Structure 1
Amino acid sequence: MRIYRKSPLCLLSASMDKTMIIWAPEEASGVWVEQVRVGEVGGNTLGFYGCQMSPDGAMIVAHAFQGALHLWCKDHHNEGEWRPGVVVSGHFDVVQDLSWDPEGEFILTVGSDQTTRLFTPWKKQNNKEITWHEISRPQIHGYDMQCLAMVGRFQFVSGADEKVLRVFQAPRNFVENFATISGASKEKLLTTSDAASLPEGASTPALGLSNKAVFQGGLVPKNNKEEEQFNSISDQYQESYFHPLILTEPPPEDHLLQNTLWPEVQKLYGHGFEMFCLASDSTRTLVASACKASKAEHAAVLLWSTTTWRQLQRLQYHTLTVTQMAFSPDAQLLLAVSRDRTWSLWRRNPPTSESSEPRFSLQAHTGKDTAVHSRIIWSCDWSPDSKYFVTSSRDKKVIVWGPWRPESSGGSEIKPCSSVLDVGDSATAVAFCPVLCSDDRYSHLLAVGLDCGRILLFRWTPGQDVAAGGDWVRSGETDSSQSHTLAVKRLRWRPRAGRTGIERKLKEESSWVQLASASADHSVKIFSLNKHHLQ
């Protein structure tokens, strides 16, 4: 509660009832009475923790218990009216994973705050400045989120501290609003998304974890008697349901909580423990998943078809949790790294007459006697040409392996092809830039995230003086204002050159690349880098 000593004297209070009230004394009696009441109606938040008014009295902001900011601005066209304002938002716990959409127009993130969030650039009318905002919260879950993988322009798979994978598809209302806010072609997006079959939105029953599709007219389809019985019970504890939005700017927190969910289209069962990591191939036809494991039987990687959502194969090699996986850009290889300090490489076999489904076989691996890393391998990634892959570990080492050749057979063919790069701290995330950093020589740009929150950039060139470490060239690093304050959990380069939301000459934009990072400090950062200005 705050008293503002200005003319006229007023008092701003915030409450657990999810409202803020501006009070002022009556001139005649001096009794303090309510002048303005704003706040969130419904939803599942716990109320407001604190409040603040701008010096001119035109804006008030509240801080919610779950980390969100709520802003209201005085409407200058309607006396006495207040409207929600655009405000920054984000996770209020560890951000565990992130992914760009295939076109590089938005990013999806998941975190331990039990949410999946979607961010995209927004250009305010009559303002050239572009800012990133959360425009959808596709999943609000009952478990801490751990991983996700995009399997289409508007479809993703997510994993949490449960044994189930969940698949989500964007509703029509989101696609329309995304087109308006981002400036994309609505007709093109709706054509590619098969608009005729898309639901309008989604809502979650009070006693459930699954987002149910809501079609035009507010109907939620019921598939069987068991679901009908569940819905009839949950109706007794009904909360606010989806209402279509027509957005021209990023939505406020109450709309994000209620009206931007994506419907769940599939559940995938097969793992015995909490989900830990996911990966999808470049053709968006395969998903690989892994869960927490302390025994070899639980450390298997499961392969799923994105067309039938059937489990295709069980890849067994590791003895402890698989910490990260990556498909090669040509979709022919799958790399997995593990807490057991080893990596395994799986190759897609040619289709046979017996089955058209892809089958993978173990092509190479490291063991206790051949392992280079002495601690947990946290992260891995592929070079754009699918010839090399990189691993990073708690032992502070970053190593490039290869080259991979289709005729290779056996683990003896896959050896370190770089000098061991010591980055001075636990290397928790690593990512190869999909765009070559120079035209005159074959060199790759590599980003390395550290446990301390810093991000390092290196150029790696095959064939240089490996013995002397001449294959690595330091290209840059984040300073204290740019670095995260806790461990970097994930690094992802935009899948194409250029900067999201900026339309300039093709030649000018081709020199730019963007890197997104997720951290245990609850933040997501997006860096724009000019390749020609790197050291």
Structure 2
Amino acid sequence: MWNNQLVKSIPLKGHDESVCAVDAVYQSDEPDLNLLIASAASDSTVRIWSRHGSEAKCIEILQFGNGFVMDVCLSFLPGSNVPILACGGDDCKIYLFIQQNGQFQKTLILPGHEDWIRGIEWAVCGEDLFLASCAQDCLIRIWKVCTKSKQLPETEDDSIRLKENVFTVKDTDTTYAVTLESVLAGHENWVYAVHWQPSFSRDGSMQQPMRILSASMDKTVIIWEPDKESGVWLEQVRVGEVGGNTLGFFDCQFSPDGSMIIAHAFHGALHLWKQTAVNKKEWTPEVVISGHFNSVEDVKWDPEGEFIISVGSDQTTRLFATWKRKQETEVTWHEIARPQVHGYDMRCLAMIGRFQFVSGADEKVLRVFRAPKNFIENFSNITGIPVEKLCSHQSSDLPEGATVPALGLSNKAVFEGDMAVQPAEDEETFNTISNQYPEIYFQPMILTEPPPEDHLLQNTLWPEIQKLYGHGYEIFCVACNNSNTVIASACKASKKEHAAIILWSTTSWKKLQSLPFHNLTVTQLAFSPNDKFLLAVSRDRNWSLWRKQDSSESGPVFSCCAYTDKNTAVHSRIIWSCDWTPDSKYFITGSRDKKVIIWGQCDLSVTTEGNMLDSIKPCSTILDAGDSVTAVGISRVLTPHGRYIVAVGLENGKIILYTWKQSGQEPTLTDWTTCVEMDNSQSHALAVKRLCWRHHAGRAGHNDLNSSEWLQLASCGADHCVKIFNVNRFAL
């Protein structure tokens, strides 16, 4: 982007290993003229690139032997157009390279840091050039580069003088001196990033006072500024996390005017702070985008379609909803709660009614959670939905929130009468395990806007109300029927006895039945909308269909009524996903073999007796999706022409929308219609993990006059993203 105009991107290929740092400077005020780029990678090289117009090439490679350069930064020597490159790496030294005779030559080495250098950045101030560096020794160093003629003449007295590192540029015959200006000690752990406030320009003009922002693994971000009278650099502002389960900050940045700062935390979260208008030294947390920082494995809409819940390999369960600002029509999606922060990677979840869900992780236990009172109140404030509409039961019986006991994985309910108060710390209690690893204490807050990251971490947990034991290996998939009475779950398996599906009652939370059939892991489960059937698909390339028995019948709750085996299977690879049509007549399967198939008979929903084994067969032509199919979903709302709307997610990240309608007794080539194929800007960058349609027409958070026009599709992927698409069904 240059002057709000998109500039064509040019890939720079040459490094053999991952690139860890890039910096660039324009050698002219015109964007089409020379751009000088420096890149550092774990192949122990720094490459210098030159871009002129639409062409770019590597003009030089700087070798660092067995060392690694962690950061690079380019600038120009004071009063000249001579580029200077600073490199900081794992040998605790800063290397300065000056471009002379068209090549970068190692000119100076600046020692001082005692551990790996993590960040360096140049800044121009007046006629001088400053370099800030930070390292794992918890220190920040500021270096000053200026012409030798500006230095004070040497005296013969015994006064203390900073050591000068002097070098001469042959091209300009100018001598420069580098001195250590200051050492900033305030962080208590590795300093990962240091940045100047972006108010310095190449011509030396300065609109703001000199300020530095630093981010550390000690969970704090500090603003440093020199004292106006003494010139000594002092800590002016410190913000960050108190408690929580994060491991500090990786990077930080000023906003262009210096009124806001943003930091990137170890666990993937962004933190934003804004300077208050009244007190310039007071900074308050602000609303910022958030999301998973590892693969998102499952996503579900609540039955009313007002929020979505997702689980991921980052060991969290996150709840996203719309924020409806007062007196504004704009509606945006934000994370408003983090109901579960776990010790295992999350794999699946299912909604049990509106404010209750069950989740499965890389442990053998299913956990059930229910929304606390504080969440429902804040959900009402943020979305604009009245509390009376949200609570059909007595909210006074609900706990206020939840807390995590020391070294525990279960969210413990916190009621109004026993609000957690952190005990006073003394030497005797500190030596106990529970005090060395204190629990996260819940403090209720009234919110009218999405909570900041520190509040999400500590005060938005949901109480755990039940654990379900019975599986022998890691939980892989879970589903709940539409009447919210039965849960079905399955775990990873390599043998038939472990691949059995377990049914649970949501009233007694007891095991109802075990359904053995598959030989390998069941990858997805789906109840039919009328709750008469349970569908399972598996790694063994087969599906099984289970029919619910009438309450008057004795025997099992569900019995197998149809399946495929090695003789009747159509799929030749793992079946990853399945779903039902809204009328319960047909079901769909999607497989790694790139095939999507819709199965059924005349009408599954009215068949209550007899053997269905031979009557279930493909009702559609075999759809070749072009890549491994990892997710499928069928909308509960049809097109105006009565066609089913099918979303297909692929391993390459693409999402394709089709419509389908049975065209007769035998499948024909006209039954599938391709409607939309998401382009790269809308698709996922990695495999689509799950697709889930909103149950009702309309858009969450909108009071659409023509709500029947819009549908919403939620997707999640291995690229850490959760996406929500608006789909105009009249255009399909």
Bin of the TM-score, shorter chain as denominator length: over 0.9
Q: CA deviation at 1:409?
A: 2.0
1: distance between equivalents of 2:327 and 2:240? 29
Secondary structure at 2:350's aligned position in 1? strand
Corresponding position: 1:156 with 2:357: yes
Q: CA deviation at 1:80?
A: 2.8
Aligned twin of 1:137: 338
Structure with greater proportional strand content = 2
Alignment counterpart, residue 532 of structure 2, candidates 314, 320, 332: 332
Instruction: Give the structure, 1 or 2, with the largest relative contact order (CA under 8 Å, sep 6 or more).
Output: 1
Q: CA deviation at 1:233?
A: 5.7
2: distance between equivalents of 1:530 and 1:362? 38
Instruction: Kindly indicate whether the alpha-carbon contact (under 8 Å) linking 2:419 and 2:443 is maintained by their aligned counterparts in 1.
Output: no
Aligned twin of 1:317: 517
Q: CA deviation at 1:238?
A: 1.6
RMSD: 1.5
1: distance between equivalents of 2:437 and 2:222? 29
Relative to structure 1, is the Cα distance of residues 353 and 519 closer, same or farther in structure 2, using a 3 angstrom cutoff? Answer: closer
Secondary structure at 1:298's aligned position in 2? coil
Q: TM-score, normalised by structure 2?
A: 0.69
Alignment counterpart, residue 88 of structure 1, candidates 265, 268, 289: 289
Residues 233-259 of structure 1: per-residue CA shift (max 9 Å, x gap): 635532440000110111111111100
2: distance between equivalents of 1:336 and 1:408? 21
Paired letter, 2:709: S
1: distance between equivalents of 2:292 and 2:683? 17
Paired letter, 1:22: I
Choose 486-495 or 40-49, whichever is displaced more: 40-49
Instruction: Kindly indicate whether the alpha-carbon contact (under 8 Å) linking 1:442 and 1:462 is maintained by their aligned counterparts in 2.
Output: no
Relative to structure 1, is the Cα distance of residues 494 and 408 closer, same or farther in structure 2, using a 3 angstrom cutoff? Answer: farther
Q: CA deviation at 1:2?
A: 1.0
Residues 202-256 of structure 1: per-residue CA shift (max 9 Å, x gap): 0001211000000013358xxxxxxxxxxx9635532440000110111111111
2: distance between equivalents of 1:371 and 1:272? 28
Instruction: Kindly indicate whether the alpha-carbon contact (under 8 Å) linking 2:292 and 2:721 is maintained by their aligned counterparts in 1.
Output: yes
1: distance between equivalents of 2:398 and 2:308? 21
Secondary structure at 1:510's aligned position in 2? helix
Alignment counterpart, residue 364 of structure 1, candidates 562, 586, 606: 562
Corresponding position: 1:394 with 2:595: no
Alignment counterpart, residue 430 of structure 1, candidates 616, 632, 649: 632
Residues 480-520 of structure 1: per-residue CA shift (max 9 Å, x gap): 10000000000000010000000121xx1111100000100
Aligned twin of 1:527: 725
Choose 264-273 or 79-88, whichever is displaced more: 79-88
Paired letter, 1:174: F
Alignment counterpart, residue 111 of structure 1, candidates 309, 312, 320: 312
5+ residue gaps in structure 2? 1-193, 201-205, 421-431
Corresponding position: 1:498 with 2:698: yes
Instruction: Kindly indicate whether the alpha-carbon contact (under 8 Å) linking 1:115 and 1:140 is maintained by their aligned counterparts in 2.
Output: yes
Instruction: Kindly indicate whether the alpha-carbon contact (under 8 Å) linking 2:574 and 2:591 is maintained by their aligned counterparts in 1.
Output: yes
2: distance between equivalents of 1:3 and 1:109? 37
Choose 250-259 or 402-411, whichever is displaced more: 402-411
Alignment counterpart, residue 166 of structure 1, candidates 367, 372, 376: 367
Aligned twin of 2:612: 410
Q: CA deviation at 1:261?
A: 0.3
Alignment counterpart, residue 472 of structure 2, candidates 248, 255, 272: 272
Paired letter, 2:612: G
Residues 370-405 of structure 1: per-residue CA shift (max 9 Å, x gap): 000010000000000000000010000000001324
Secondary structure at 2:503's aligned position in 1? strand
Q: TM-score, normalised by structure 1?
A: 0.94
Aligned twin of 1:223: none
2: distance between equivalents of 1:236 and 1:38? 24
Instruction: Kindly indicate whether the alpha-carbon contact (under 8 Å) linking 1:464 and 1:471 is maintained by their aligned counterparts in 2.
Output: no
Relative to structure 1, is the Cα distance of residues 376 and 81 closer, same or farther in structure 2, using a 3 angstrom cutoff? Answer: same
Q: CA deviation at 1:353?
A: 7.1
- Aligned positions of 1:202-241 closer than 5 A: 202-218=402-418, 234-235=434-435, 237-241=437-441
Instruction: Kindly indicate whether the alpha-carbon contact (under 8 Å) linking 1:142 and 1:209 is maintained by their aligned counterparts in 2.
Output: yes
Paired letter, 1:111: G
Aligned twin of 1:377: 575
1: distance between equivalents of 2:691 and 2:491? 20
Paired letter, 2:599: W
2: distance between equivalents of 1:127 and 1:170? 28
Residues 150-196 of structure 1: per-residue CA shift (max 9 Å, x gap): 00110000000000000001100000000100111112323x24312
2: distance between equivalents of 1:235 and 1:202? 19
- Aligned positions of 1:61-76 closer than 5 A: 61-76=262-277
When the two structures are aligned, how many residues end up with a matched partner? 516
Relative to structure 1, is the Cα distance of residues 38 and 236 closer, same or farther in structure 2, using a 3 angstrom cutoff? Answer: closer
Larger Rg: 2
Secondary structure at 1:521's aligned position in 2? coil
Q: CA deviation at 1:49?
A: 0.7
Relative to structure 1, is the Cα distance of residues 466 and 448 closer, same or farther in structure 2, using a 3 angstrom cutoff? Answer: farther
Residues 337-373 of structure 1: per-residue CA shift (max 9 Å, x gap): 0001110000000012768xx8111111111100000
5+ residue gaps in structure 1? 221-231
Corresponding position: 1:44 with 2:245: yes
Secondary structure at 1:110's aligned position in 2? strand
Relative to structure 1, is the Cα distance of residues 194 and 114 closer, same or farther in structure 2, using a 3 angstrom cutoff? Answer: same
